[in-house]
Amino acid sequence: VVLLLSLLGLADAGKLLVVPVDGSHWLSMREVLDMLHQKGHEVVVVAPEVSMHIKPSKNFVMKMYSVPYTQEELERDFQAFFHGSFEEGSFFERFFHILEGMKRITNFGVSSCEQLLQNKELIRYLEESKFDAVLTDPFVPCGAILAEHLSLPSMYFLRGIPCGLDFEATQCPKPPSYVPRVFTDLTDRMTFLQRVKNLLFDIPSIFLCNFAFEPYSKLASEFLQREVTVLDLLRKGSVWLLRVDFVLDYPRPLMPNIIPIGGVNCAHK
């Protein structure tokens, strides 16, 4: 990341629109924004008024919009989701815990995105600001919708997307023979039966994907005034900054526009 940002510093300073995701996602991204500011780039962050970690800073311009939920509601449901994610149990028990938690978290994300897209004054400001690119976390694809509306190249900053939508969007292979799926407790060295198990674990992801991202597809279609899916939008990503490091993560294929930046998320505990 340092090398990439150093190269950016050699070019003319640009104007970057940032649409972040709250929580630990933001803590990693903030480090990158601070460095971009040091390199002379103008950074504008669009975020909801209610958030856990996204706060104004001297290193970027903050544009905020109202949302129909409170700080207490947000923190309560996020805490419940985190606790549920670490509960022990069988695959199906953990899967349904995650599904229920994601339902609550998705409701916050969809509601926030809807308020942003319906904020005509803010959208007009974004249209008139002549940004050079959009930096966003596709875990919540609102930034991808804005990038499409503004006809801007998008850079994705992520650890991963539920149900492996990032693999499909980048057409990146994920062989079940050595790329273990979430919740399988498998490694990159598997027996034949373990590979079969690994392959079968892809089936629930189909339902999870539809459940998590269909509301955003509807929002995008209404806002862009044409039928579009989240997958369609993510496929237009120019660069994927992936917060993985094969020192800690199992090896897997990467496409040319995927850049591993594992370690940047260690800046804050």
DSSP 8-state code for residue 60: B
pLDDT at 86 over 80: no
Quickly tell me which residue has 């002549």 as its tokens. Answer: 130
- Tell me which of 162 and 59 has the higher pLDDT: 59
Predicted pLDDT at 76:
86
Other beta carbons within 10 Å of 124? 10
Alpha-carbon distances of 176 from 33, 128, 206, 238, rounded to whole Å: 36, 46, 16, 26
Angle among Cα 106, 139, 196 to the nearest 5 degrees reads 95
Q: For the chain, how long is the longest CA-to-CA vector? A: 57
- Tell me which of 234 and 28 has the higher pLDDT: 234
Per-residue pLDDT tens for 32-57? Answer: 999 999 989 999 999 999 999 999 99
Predicted pLDDT at 211:
80
Confidence class for position 80, pLDDT limits 50, 70, 90? confident
pLDDT at 3 over 90: no
Contact call for residues 152 and 34 (beta carbons, < 8 A): no
Total domains, the chain: 1
Per-residue pLDDT tens for 159-172? Answer: 888 788 899 999 99
Domain limits for position 124 = 2-266
Burial 166-188 (b: 16+ CB within 10 A, else e): bbebbebebebebbbbbeeebee
Predicted pLDDT at 95:
67
- Tell me which of 223 and 94 has the higher pLDDT: 223
pLDDT at 12 over 90: no
Separation between Cα atoms, residue 206 and residue 31, nearest integer Å: 34
Separation between Cα atoms, residue 135 and residue 127, nearest integer Å: 16
Predicted pLDDT at 247:
82
Interhelix angle for 142-150 vs 120-128, to 10°?
Answer: 50
Domain of 42: which CATH number?
A: 3.40.50.2000
Confidence class for position 266, pLDDT limits 50, 70, 90? low
Predicted pLDDT at 87:
66
Length of the chain: 269
Q: What is the pTM of this model?
A: 0.87
Both structure tokens of 189: 């060295």
Q: What are phi and psi of 85, to 5 degrees?
A: -65, -25
Helix or strand (DSSP H, E) at 211: helix 202-224
pLDDT at 199 over 60: yes
Rounded to an integer, the average pLDDT of 81-101 is: 68
Separation between Cα atoms, residue 207 and residue 109, nearest integer Å: 19
